[in-house]
Amino acid sequence: MKTLALSSYKPFALAGKTVATLLLVFATGIVSAQLSPKALIDSATACYTAGRYTDALNYYNQVLTSGQESADLYYNAGNAAFKANEMAQAVWYFEKALKLNPSDEDAAFNLGLANTRITDKIDQVPLLFYERWWKAFVNLFSPDTWSMVSLIMLALTAVALLLFFQATTLWQRKGGFWMSLVFGILFAFSLSFAWKGTHRIVNHNEAIVFAATVTAKSSPDASGVDLFVLHEGTKVAVNDQIGTWLRVKIANGSEGWLEEGAVRRL
């Protein structure tokens, strides 16, 4: 049985709980906007340890606003949001962590835990077996790792082709041919996985509902027919946009239109 991971933090240049860090957090006259990202992270860590989860979350948000980003940063911010009982934010942060690092088991576990605290429990349409396999392979590594794998496969393909063309015997030519074929196929797949993972990160076609309650409409206007109601923390796929209205799809396949201000894109 896996224990609750929400009390854990992942280090990414996180300082220890030194006297200097505590003074930084509690001293008056310190303007947080003037702090470096590392100082903000140190302050967030100290606040989290002291049980000041809302303050920790505010510090993490300042780091993100400054343009810094990492899977561990989102993960830690998700922990702080969960502790502060901000479930929509917790879900959003854990989803962002998994976009950058799909193999993060702690983020996946905590996301599942946060999803048990939201109102909507929507059954997902089952994926076909090949869709499950493809998704599992894409999420096996981060896009950067898949890119490195594809480069290695490309290099091995080149070596195998060199062996094929330089071979002096039949068995060497056959070996070079089959190795180049295998490595070439692996290169194509790993490159596809890297592209898909990168596409998932850079395309903001998913979102989390941040409004307490929002009604999906049949058309992109307030006079549309009410279709279904969503609550904060629910994940939706964004398929289209007209003005300030988004056409969204939820896990069970239902579609409708929501105002853009009701959601926060991933």
Helix 71-83 vs helix 87-100: angle between axes, to the nearest 10 degrees? Answer: 160
24 confidence band (pLDDT: 50, 70, 90): very low
Residue type, 246: L
Residue 18's nearest CA partner among 55, 45, 57 is: 45
**Res 110 pLDDT > 70:** yes
User: How confident is the model at residue 17, as a pLDDT?
Assistant: 34
In this prediction the pTM is 0.79
C-alpha distances in angstroms, 175 versus 165, 166, 178, 179? 11, 12, 5, 6
C-alpha distances in angstroms, 28 versus 23, 53, 116, 133, 195? 9, 19, 39, 54, 48
Q: Residue 238 and residue 255: Cα distance in Å, rounded? A: 10
Write out pLDDT tens, residues 43-94: 999 999 999 999 999 999 999 998 888 999 999 999 999 999 999 999 999 9
7 confidence band (pLDDT: 50, 70, 90): very low
**Res 21 pLDDT > 90:** no
- What are the sequence ranges of the domains in the chain? 19-115, 129-202, 206-265
The CATH architecture to which 206-265 belongs is Roll (2.30)
C-alpha distances in angstroms, 155 versus 15, 171, 177, 187? 40, 21, 15, 9
Q: Residue 25 and residue 230: Cα distance in Å, rounded? A: 38
**Res 28 pLDDT > 50:** no
Instruction: Give burial (CB, 10 Å; 0-12/13-18/19+) of 105.
Output: exposed
- Fold for 19-115, please state it: 1.25.40
Residue 247's nearest CA partner among 260, 261, 233 is: 260
